[in-house]
A = this chain, B = another copy of it.
Amino acid sequence: MADPRDACGVLGLYGVRGAAPMATLGLHALQHRGQESAGIVTGHNGSLFCRKGMGLVAQVFSGSEGSSLPGEIAVGHVRYSTAGGSSLANAQPLVGRYLGGEVAVAHNGTLAAGAALSEALARKGALFQTTTDTELFLHLLAQEQAASESAVAAMLAHAGPAFAAIFLFPDKMIAARDPWGFRPLVLGRLGKGYAVASETCAFDQMGAVYEREIRPGEMVIFDDGGCRSRCFGDSGGVTARCLLEHIYFARPDSVVFGATPHVVRWQSGVVLAGEFPLEADLVVAIPDSGVSAAMGFASALGLPVERGLIRNHYVGRSFIAPGPEARAMAVRMKHNVVREVVRGRRVVLVDDSLIRGTTTATLSRDLRDAGATEVHLRIACPPTRHPCLYGVDFPRREELLAHRYSLQEIQERLHMDSLGYLSLDGLAGIFGAERDSFCTACWTGNYPV
C-alpha cells in the first residue's frame, strides 16, 4: 500500500518532430509518478514555450494544447499530489530568465542541502518565487551567469543529492543525475532524435529505444553537435540508488537501475516465502501494489493466488463525508472483498510495504466479516521506520507504523494471525553483487549522505 509518494517524473526530448505532443504521450506513461500537476516546456527559434496546469496530463493537455507548443526539443514533468502545499506556482518545469538567457528545469528528487543553499543564495540577494527546492537549480545557474556546459556542470556540482534533472535552453538540453544516483534516469533514441525519462515505460509508449542509464555524476548534453557525455562530480565511490523505486514507485514493466520491478517484486515474494512460510489456503494480493510479490510468494509455497480483493480504479474520494463509518467506506471505495473466494478459508495477504497501516486494518476486518478463518500478512520489504531525505514524500515519522509499534503490536492492531516482513538481507540478496549499491535509509536510518 504505497503511502509514500514519489517526487515526480521527468521527460526530455531532443530532435523530435512535434516534441510537445510526443511528450504528452510519454508523460502519460509516467503518470503514476505524480498526479498533482503536469507541464511541458519546448524550445523553438531561440525562445521557450510553456504550458502547465494542475491535474493529470490528460486534463492539462486535453484537446490540442500540447500541439500548440512549437519545436523539436521539449522537457516535461509530472508532480506528485500533496494535501496543502501544492499550487500552480510549484508546478514544473520551472522557467526562468537570467544573464545566460532563458532556461527551464524538470526535477525528480529533493536537494538535501536545500535549506543551506537557500540561505546562502538569499544572502546574495536571491528572490524566491516558489516553495519548491527545484527553484534552487535556477538560482545556482543564475549565479554562474552563463548557459554554457561548464556553467551547468559547476551548478550541478554545488547542488548535492538528490536529483535526476533535465535542463532546457532554447537550443540545447542537458540531463543529469546526482553522483550518488538516488533517482533513476534513462537514455534512449527516438527516430533520429533522443529521449530521456525517469522510466523506460515512457520510451515504450513513445516508441523510443532504450539505450542505457544515465550514470551517477554524469550529465548528457544534447545540442547541434549531437549527444555527448560529461562527468560533473563524484560521490567518492558511494552509490545509493533508491530501493523504493523497485519496491513500489516504478511501473512493473519499466527497466529501472537495469532491472525490471515486476521481476524484483516477484523475487521478493519468493524470498519472503522462504523467511516466513506458513500453511494457508490461498494468497491474496492487495491490488495493485502487492500483485507481483504475491505471485512470487504463492509460487514458492505452492499456494494458489486468488482475487480475494477487487480494486475500483475510479477515484471517488470526494464523496465521503466525515462520520463514524466514513473511514471504512473510504477504504471500500478502493478495495472490496470477494466473499465467495475467502469464505471459510485461511488467507495470506501480501503487500509491497506497510506504512501507516490504516487501510490494511480495515481490509483485515472485512476479510473476517466475509468468512475468512485466518488472515495473515506478509510484507515484501523491511519495516519502514525512517523518513526519506532524498526525494520521497513520506508521512511524518510519528505516522510510520513500524516507528511507533513493535511487530507484535502491529500484528495485533491489524488483527492479523501472523505477520512477516522481508528482511533487509533477503531483499538485498536479490541484487547479488549490486546489493550494496542501494540506499536503505528508510529501513535502517543509515543515510548515505
The chain A residues found within 8 Å of chain B, CB to CB, are: 21, 24-25, 28-29, 31-32, 56-58, 61-63, 66-67, 88, 94-99, 122-131, 135, 138-139, 141-143, 145, 201, 204-207, 251-253, 255, 260, 262-263, 266, 291-292, 295, 299, 304-307, 310, 312-321, 325, 328-329, 332-333, 336-341
Contacts and interface: CB of A to CB of B under 8 A. Distances in A.
Given A97-B127, A319-B21, A338-B260, A307 B252 contact: yes
A255 B252 CA distance: 31
Copies in the complex: 4
Contacts of A62: 318
Nearest to A119: B99
A336 B126 contact: no
A139 B127 contact: yes
Contacts of A128: 96-98
A122 B339 CA distance: 49
Contact of A306 (B94, B295, B307): B295
User: Could you say which of A56, A95, A253 has the most chain B C-beta atoms within 10 Å of its C-beta?
Assistant: A253
A359 B372 CA distance: 38
Nearest to A366: B204
A340 B260 contact: yes
A95 B307 CA distance: 40
A205 B56 contact: no
Contact of A338 (B138, B253, B341): B253
Contacts of A61: 318-319
Contacts of A291: 307
A338 B224 CA distance: 35
Contacts of A262: 307, 310, 338, 340-341
B125 A56 contact: no
